[in-house]
Amino acid sequence: MAAGTTRAFSALKDRPYADVLVIGGGINGLATFRDLAMQGVDVALVDQSDFVSGASAASSHMIHGGIRYLENGEFRLVHEAVTERNALLRIAPHYVRPLQTTIPIFSTFSGVLSAPLRFLRHGGGKHRERGAALIKIGLVIYDSFSRGGGRVPRHTFRGRKRSLTELPALNPDVKYTATYWDASLHDPERLAIDVLRDGRAAGGDRARAANYTAAVGAQDGRVVLRDTVTGEEVPFAASVVVNASGPWTDLTNSALGDPTRYMGGTKGSHIVLDNPELFAATGGRELFFENADGRIVLIYPLKGRVLVGTTDLEHDMGDPIVCTEAEVDYFIDLIGQVLPRISVDRSQIVYRFSGVRPLPGHGDLAPGFVSRDYRVESAPLEGGDATVLSLVGGKWTTFRASAEHLADRVLDLLARPRHRSTKNVPIGGGNGYPTTERARQQWISRHADGLPHARVATLLDRYGTVAAAVIEAIVDDADDAALTHAPAYSTAELRHLAAGEDVVHLDDLLLRRTSIGFVGEATDAAVREIAEAVAPVLGWDARRVAAEARRGLEQVHAADPTWAEASASSR
């Protein structure tokens, strides 16, 4: 058993009460934890699995105003999302960066992107394609929401000739391209760990968080918590329980004795391709376009690979959350429509991932048109005086605002004041992050401590200013060496993450503390090598190393329904 779990669960067991218990360590739960800790509230958080392993690990990596939500008339949400996007560019510049986004348009008055501006439709709910004119109006509105934020440039429109000069691999039938700016979220999982670290730093012993700890029931007005590694249980008392369990919100309420029907999540999948030609064809931009069925698809260069997503399919939480072969066919077909000269096939897929959006229940409304806004529901906890606040909805983009909203509701219930807003508080490694080339070089020189500058630059890109602690750990570890099978990482770096970032299982490290799984470097050999490298700090013996290596591979391929069979036949 990892030392980290023992410590985190023990801290809850030793003092089984707090003012607030947050259930769910996705980005919304973690941000609420951070906000409350900053107000001096005694807060505890649990996640049944690893932190940031649910919907928050399945995103399209965009921090976006959500231009297409304009079509649903969601002006409040788009305005808030654009404002939050601009704020995150400022307070989390290490992971949130401006992203140039291009929409290829194939006609003037109809077109490839039908999503924006459904609200302009006069009658008829039938899907109709939208062309350049309507996209232009949408982008003007979008820009107007950005006014005053000053964080990203305004949109531009190009005709066919210039579009093909800028992006020569585009389908030559293109008539226009519209280019605007949103933001990319390079490392969602690492940003979430920063949020967690900030909360703990602000609250000290009064901000406790344990992964692999599930809320499994209610007993005498307390929530029963179970260590999912050992099976040990403890009833935990809190005045307010925040149910931030994303797509599992109804299931959590059921476990607490109050079956609700708030949620109607839809599944979305992505594939990650190792295809240098496709990578080059994007020109460093996200290509954002609409399929004939009205779904929005993106092709997006990230970490030397190309991310392609996403689908939007009704999902029952009892079913496995996987990226099916039909979804893969759909993605490959779409790439062919937009970039027809580039050859793409299954052998180039290095990683698949899927997740369920925590959307509100939506009856017959098509998934793409369901509101992406959030709300908070309140109910008493069975058998006691505590109140349960359930978050319904909530995107990555708006996590700071939705957490502030939830925290305000909690503070009202506790009759406690808000001491500060999180609006302008830098997050984790965004604190003191050098944003000019000159400041960056100075930071690198100041912190190199004998390491090559190129390596320090990589660590700064990977961790923001939190890299200072990673560098210290590397310098102090006499046995540091680049991994043979995943050379972008080193043994001391991984040991530092394993010891200090709540790593319980190897897949926590492969998928959420590093990008090794995402870029397709979690091969059999690499996984084994990494398990051996971190074994000393996690107290793993040879048997545990073998078990973790096996589990690590399974988890990396968990969203690929073909993997188990293929790997069994190749052994």
- Comparing CB distances to ligand FAD, the nearer of 94 and 357 is 357
Among 131, 268, 301, 434, binds ligand FAD (CB under 6 A): 268
| Contact positions with ligand FAD (CB under 6 A) in 294-313 | 310
Q: Does 44 bind ligand FAD (CB under 6 A)?
A: no
Tell me the CA distances in angstroms from 211 to 40, 127, 223, 245, 394, one per residue in order: 22, 43, 16, 13, 21
By CB under 6 A, the count of residues binding ligand FAD is 40
- Minimum CB separation of residue 252 from ligand FAD in Å reads 4
Residue 24 touches ligand FAD, criterion: CB under 6 A: yes
Cβ(347)–Cβ(232) under 8 Å?
no
Minimum distance from residue 138 beta carbon to ligand FAD (Å):
18
User: Cβ distance 530 to 509 under 8 Å?
Assistant: yes
Beta-ladder partners of 380 = 387
Binding segment for ligand FAD among 244-252, 458-466, 483-491, 563-571 (CB under 6 A)?
244-252
* Preceding amide of 310 cis, omega within 30: yes
CB of 571 to ligand FAD, least distance (A): 31
Q: Which residues lie below 8 Å from residue 425, measured CB to CB, with a gap of 6+?
A: 38, 91, 198
Task: Single out the segment in contact with ligand FAD by CB under 6 A; choices: 273-281, 350-358, 476-484, 495-503.
Answer: 350-358
Name every residue whose Cβ is closer than 8 Å to that of residue 455 and which is 6 or more positions away in sequence: none
Q: How far apart are CA 57 and CA 398, in angstroms?
A: 16
Question: Residue written as tokens 């609200």?
Answer: 119
Burial code (b: 16+ CB inside 10 Å, e: under 16) for 496-525 equals bbbbbbbbbbbbbbbbbbbbbbbbbbbeee
Q: Give the range of 57-65, 125-133, 541-549, 554-562 binding ligand FAD by CB under 6 A.
A: 57-65
DSSP-assigned states of every residue in 443-462:
HHHHH-TTS-HHHHHHHHHH
Quick one: which of 59, 114, 275, 348 contacts ligand FAD (CB under 6 A)?
59
**Does position 48 bind ligand FAD by CB under 6 A?**
yes
Contact 495, 473 (CB under 8 A): yes
CB-based closest residue to ligand FAD:
26
Q: What letter represents residue 465's amino acid?
A: T
Single out the residue of 395, 400, 505, 557 in contact with ligand FAD (rule: CB under 6 A): 395
Site string for ligand FAD, 170-209 (x = CB under 6 A): ----------------------------------------
Segment near ligand FAD (CB under 6 A), from 2-10, 353-361, 488-496, 546-554? 353-361
Least distance between ligand FAD and beta carbon 312 (Å): 8
Cα separation of 229 and 1, whole Å? 8
Q: Is there binding between residue 27 and ligand FAD (CB under 6 A)?
A: yes
Classify 73 in phi/psi space as left (phi over 0), alpha (psi -120 to 50) or beta: left
Q: Residue 30: name the closest of 45, 15, 8 by CA.
A: 45
Pick between residue 93 and residue 265 the one whose CB is nearest to ligand FAD. Answer: 265
Kindly tell me which residue out of 252, 387, 490, 555 binds ligand FAD, with binding defined by CB under 6 A: 252
State how far the alpha carbon of 52 is from the alpha carbons of 37, 511, 550, 552, in Å.
Answer: 19, 10, 21, 16
Q: Using CB under 6 A, which of the segments 23-31, 123-131, 338-346, 377-385 binds ligand FAD?
A: 23-31
Q: Which is nearer to ligand FAD, 4 or 24 (CB)?
A: 24
Q: How far is the CB of 276 from ligand FAD (least distance, A)?
A: 24
Contact stretch for ligand FAD (CB under 6 A) within 55-63, 161-169, 322-330, 336-344:
55-63
Stretch of 154-162, 239-247, 421-429, 523-531 lying at the interface with ligand FAD (CB under 6 A): 239-247
- What is the b/e burial string over 99-110, where b = at least 16 CB atoms within 10 angstroms of the residue's CB? bbbbbbbbbeee
Closest CB to ligand FAD among residues 24, 131: 24
| Strand segments (E) across 89-211 | 96-105, 156-159, 176-185, 207-210
The verdict on 328 binding ligand FAD (CB under 6 A) reads no
Q: Which is nearer to ligand FAD, 79 or 160 (CB)?
A: 79
Task: Detail the DSSP E strand segments found in 186-327.
Answer: 207-210, 213-219, 222-227, 233-243, 266-273, 286-290, 296-302, 305-309, 313-314
Looking at beta carbons only, is 253 or 387 nearer to ligand FAD?
Answer: 253
Is residue 464 at the binding interface for ligand FAD, with CB under 6 A as the rule?
Answer: no
Q: Does 360 bind ligand FAD (CB under 6 A)?
A: no
Site for ligand FAD (CB under 6 A): which residue of 49, 83, 101, 282? 49
Task: State the minimum distance, in angstroms, from the CB of residue 551 to ligand FAD.
Answer: 17
390 part of the interface to ligand FAD, by CB under 6 A: no
Q: Please give the Cα distance from 561 to 367 (Å, whole number).
A: 23
> Whole-angstrom distance between the N-terminal and C-terminal Cα of the chain?
29
CA 561 – CA 571 distance, rounded (Å): 17
Residue number with CB closer to ligand FAD (146 or 252): 252
- In angstroms, give the least distance from the CB of 53 to ligand FAD: 5
- CB atoms under 10 Å from CB of 123, counted, come to 5
The site for ligand FAD (CB under 6 A) is made up of 23-29, 46-49, 53-56, 58-62, 64, 214-215, 244-248, 252, 255, 268, 310, 355-358, 394-397
